[in-house]
């Protein structure tokens, strides 16, 4: 059956009605392209999916249309060398490690408080350094906390970016710190270098609008370091062992006096050896009631089948207490007091840890070396990669034998690439994204259905929206909303959705409405060659002529653009006579015709329909097509407020204000090279007292790299980061700094005109008709599956 139209969009005035154009859609049958439908050439579809995962932009439509397997392979080689690949791998391992439980947005001092103050007396160094300056102190505190939280995943990033063997995530004899966490832990950089500072402050403290203190060390500059100072109960340098010795990892997977690190051992075996010890089929309840053997875990065969594997690994962690603090068990302290005689000594699969290693408390580095030398380590890493890319590892008992064989073959091929290239994750990923299963369609008739259904994650969905429509969805930048769309918070929600639930479906409907609202008019305002959604039509492409007759040439262009949208958004390659396409085409015709009828008979409706685009759907002040309203050249000119077109930006002494436009030299400006200069003296630039709401604007001598003078043109706005030059709505003479909101009081024009009016009026209801089409397509299940 035809895809149902999921919703009417009352706020936008969009309605889907019955067929009135003469195009028949009866008897269409099941014409919806299946997720696993055939395709002549998969390279284009696979390239789009690879870009969603690893890149920030799509190849051009021409490149996609002409891409063959060789082109795809070459492009993949380039993409996996970029930062996008590293970012995706880091995200995949965060889903495994769940360290984000401790980030500031979940727990303000979550990671900082994991480090014992008696071992790390400077862990809250910012309290003393910024004692009376709460704003900068809180900013630095959050950065410090998140740096400690992210030490493990930054190690993953470092290993990939440095082209080290991926085994270094366990064997690295260092940890990753930035300036802030290095101060917190008194960590010593391995290379003895310095941390990078940015040109603009990261955290500031202001007083009466003036910056009185700031810090500019780059929070993203992580470097290898070691902990070598004496701790309260441990006087030797820390024996780093990559992730295994990370305090956040040890707290995320804690232990107890009775558990004795067996939980940690189970996690290590599961995560890094692809072995779930709980999968061994034993009745542990009966074993736990053993009253015959003095030490069942060492003497009872029903227990030793597991404990002989697990306990030596657990003992390798024995100098780490429940919070990851180093307290040798020989000290017999209450928070790490064990009887060493009733658990196996440190070792690995029958190999005992050397005595000197035990005595030096370097058991974790030794354990790491054993793990990465195990043939199961590559398989564990490749299966983690597979789950991150394909959504879930298949269950042998649920898949067909052919499907599971295809999965095993892909895993084996990726392992070979991984191990033969010095444990290079890029080589393994390349195998996975060049496999036919990476596409939703296949050249062959073999479906591999369950292996290929991957519900898109919120992070990738937002990238997909941005690449395909030009707009991202703000809701997906909120952790609570992200969770409703299948995301995780690494704390209470740790598993991603495999299939959509009722909340997810409602969220998708909302997303479709809002993205269509934001993207359609914005896209149509761009030149055709720059558009993502409408390369064939314009706002003047109407289905009927002025006398009400259908315009056949325009209708064909409309169909052509609908055909493109099905391919672009849903990877559906439909003929223009396909019933599925004709249904979408009919939706456009009905929405446009009935929308005009509603406006013409507006008195029949309560509330009355809008005669123009809703403000949320109209062209915003920062739209790139509006840049010509300001211009960017060395010619002096007036700058008028779009909201108050008779008022010009003026200079009075050193202060800026708004005055009635008079053409005087005091009202002329040069906009060039990211600065706004006075037309009467190009050595004087607009500067801000502070980038905060209500910050003052004045003239000051132009300086290179002065952050307060960096006013780039973004559409019809002058922007400095997230702030804009703003005319007060309550006092038309006041001009100041305000956070960007895109209103007309933040829009500027040389002559006072606003070129957005033709589109925003939408007199022919064509833009809102296209919103109905885009909403419909984004509501389709195809869009949320990869």
Residue 442: strand pairing partners = 38
Tokens of 84: 């996008």
% the chain with pLDDT above 70: 91
DSSP string covering 190-209, please? Answer: SS-----B-SS-SEEEEETT
Is pLDDT above 70 for 599?
yes
Furthest C-alpha separation in the chain: 102
What is the pLDDT confidence band of residue 285, given thresholds at 50, 70 and 90?
low
Tokens of 655: 């202060």
Q: Quote the mean pLDDT of the chain.
A: 89
Nearest alpha carbon to residue 316 among 276, 280, 278, 360:
360
Q: What is the pLDDT of residue 439?
A: 83
Residue 346: partners with Cβ closer than 8 Å, 6 or more residues away: 312, 315, 316, 318, 352, 353, 357, 358, 363, 366, 367
Query: Listing from the earlier edge strand, what are the strands of the sheet with 175-177?
Result: 175-177, 223-226, 188-189
Q: Is the dihedral of CA 287, 291, 293, 294 positive or negative?
A: positive
Q: How far apart are CA 481 and CA 327, in angstroms?
A: 42
User: CB count, 10 Å around CB of 653?
Assistant: 8
**Average pLDDT over every residue of 235-251:** 96
Q: What is the pLDDT of residue 126?
A: 97
With 0.75 as the threshold, say if the pTM is over it.
yes
Q: How far apart are CA 83 and CA 73, in angstroms?
A: 18
Separation in Å, CA 718 to CA 723, 738, 740, 748: 8, 11, 10, 8
Angle between helix 579-600 and helix 552-570 axes, rounded to 10 deg: 120
Q: Is 708 within 8 Å of 688 (Cβ atoms)? A: yes
Residue 176: strand pairing partners = 224
Q: Is 737 within 8 Å of 688 (Cβ atoms)? A: yes
Question: How many residues make up the chain in this entry?
Answer: 786
Q: How far apart are CA 236 and CA 359, in angstroms?
A: 11
Q: What is the pLDDT of residue 440?
A: 65
Q: Give pLDDT tens digits for 205-226.
A: 988 767 899 999 999 999 999 9
Separation in Å, CA 216 to CA 219, 673, 721: 9, 24, 16
Residue 686: strand pairing partners = 699
**Average pLDDT over every residue of 72-78:** 96
Q: Give pLDDT tens digits for 17-44.
A: 334 444 433 333 332 333 333 344 689 9
Is pLDDT above 50 for 445?
no
Tokens of 310: 């697990």
Q: What is the pLDDT of residue 338?
A: 81
**Average pLDDT over every residue of 67-72:** 94
Cα angle at 668 between 666 and 673, to 5 degrees? 130
What is the pLDDT confidence band of residue 61, given thresholds at 50, 70 and 90?
confident
Is pLDDT above 50 for 8?
no
Nearest alpha carbon to residue 253 among 244, 264, 269:
264
């Amino acid at each position: 059956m035809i895809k149902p139209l999921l919703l009417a969009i009352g706020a936008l005035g969009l309605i889907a009605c019955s067929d009135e154009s003469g195009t028949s859609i009866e008897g269409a049958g099941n014409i919806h392209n299946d997720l696993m439908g055939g395709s002549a050439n998969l390279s284009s579809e696979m390239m789009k999916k690879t870009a969603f995962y690893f890149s920030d932009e799509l190849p051009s439509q021409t490149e996609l249309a002409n891409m063959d397997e060789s082109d795809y392979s070459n492009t993949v080689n380039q993409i996996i060398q970029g930062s996008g690949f590293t970012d995706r791998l880091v995200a995949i391992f965060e889903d495994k490690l769940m360290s984000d439980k401790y980030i500031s947005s979940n727990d303000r001092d979550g990671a900082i408080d994991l480090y014992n103050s008696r071992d790390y007396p400077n862990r809250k160094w910012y309290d003393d350094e910024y004692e009376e300056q709460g704003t900068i102190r809180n900013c630095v505190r959050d950065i410090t906390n998140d740096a400690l939280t992210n030490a493990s995943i930054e190690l993953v990033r470092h290993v990939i970016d440095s082209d080290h063997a991926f085994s270094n995530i366990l064997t690295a004899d260092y940890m990753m710190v930035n300036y802030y966490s290095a101060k917190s832990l008194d960590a010593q950089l391995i290379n003895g270098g310095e941390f990078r500072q940015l040109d603009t402050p990261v955290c500031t403290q202001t007083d009466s609008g003036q910056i009185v203190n700031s810090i500019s060390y780059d929070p993203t500059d992580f470097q290898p370091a070691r902990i070598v100072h004496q701790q309260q109960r441990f006087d030797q340098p820390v024996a780093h062992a990559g992730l295994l010795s990370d305090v956040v990892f040890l707290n995320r997977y804690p232990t107890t006096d009775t558990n004795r690190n067996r939980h940690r051992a189970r996690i290590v075996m599961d995560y890094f050896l692809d072995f779930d010890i709980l999968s061994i089929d034993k009745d542990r309840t009966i074993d736990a009631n053993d009253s015959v053997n003095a030490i069942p875990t060492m003497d009872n065969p029903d227990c030793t089948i597991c404990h002989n594997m697990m306990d030596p690994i657990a003992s390798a962690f024995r100098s780490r207490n429940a919070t990851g603090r180093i307290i040798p068990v020989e000290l017999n302290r209450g928070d790490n007091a064990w009887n060493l005689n009733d658990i196996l000594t440190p070792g690995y699969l029958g190999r005992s840890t050397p005595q000197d290693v035990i005595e030096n408390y370097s058991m974790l580095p030794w354990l790491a070396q054993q793990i990465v030398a195990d043939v199961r380590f590559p398989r564990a890493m490749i299966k983690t990669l597979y789950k991150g890319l394909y959504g879930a590892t298949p269950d042998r008992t649920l898949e067909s034998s052919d499907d599971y064989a295809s999965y095993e073959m892909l895993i084996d091929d990726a392992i070979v690439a991984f191990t033969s290239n010095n444990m290079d994750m890029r080589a393994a990923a390349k195998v996975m994204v060049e496999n036919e299963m990476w596409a939703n369609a296949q050249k062959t008739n073999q479906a591999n259905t369950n292996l290929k259904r991957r519900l898109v994650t919120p992070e990738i969905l937002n990238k997909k929206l941005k690449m395909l429509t030009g707009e991202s969805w703000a809701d997906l930048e909120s952790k609570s909303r992200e969770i409703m769309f299948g995301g995780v918070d690494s704390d209470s929600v740790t598993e991603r959705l495999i299939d959509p639930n009722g909340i997810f479906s409602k969220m998708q409907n909302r997303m479709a409405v809002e993205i269509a609202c934001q993207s359609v008019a914005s896209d149509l305002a761009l030149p055709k060659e720059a558009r993502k959604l409408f390369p064939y039509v314009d706002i003047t492409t109407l289905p009927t002529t002025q006398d009400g007759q259908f315009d056949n040439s325009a209708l064909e262009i409309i169909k052509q653009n609908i055909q493109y949208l099905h391919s672009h958004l849903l990877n559906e390659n439909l003929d223009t006579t396909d019933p599925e396409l004709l249904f979408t085409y009919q939706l456009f015709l009905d929405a446009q015709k009935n929308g005009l009828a509603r406006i013409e008979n507006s008195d029949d409706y309560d509330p009355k329909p809008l005669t123009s685009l809703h403000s949320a759907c109209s062209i915003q002040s920062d739209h790139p097509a509006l840049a010509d309203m300001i211009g960017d050249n060395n010619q002096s000119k007036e700058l008028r407020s779009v909201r108050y077109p008779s008022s010009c930006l003026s200079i009075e002494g050193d202060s800026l204000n708004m005055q009635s436009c008079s053409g005087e030299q005091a009202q002329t400006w040069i906009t060039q090279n990211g600065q706004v200069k006075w037309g009467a003296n190009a050595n004087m630039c607009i500067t801000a007292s502070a980038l905060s709401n209500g910050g003052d604007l004045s003239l000051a001598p132009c300086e290179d790299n002065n952050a307060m003078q960096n006013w780039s043109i973004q559409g019809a706005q002058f922007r400095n980061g997230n702030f804009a030059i703003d005319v007060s709505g309550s006092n038309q003479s006041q001009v100041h700094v305000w956070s960007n909101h895109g209103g007309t009081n933040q829009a500027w024009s040389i002559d006072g005109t606003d070129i957005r009016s033709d589109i925003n009026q939408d007199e022919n209801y064509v833009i809102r008709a296209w919103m109905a089409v885009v909403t419909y397509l984004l509501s389709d299940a195809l869009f949320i599956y990869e």
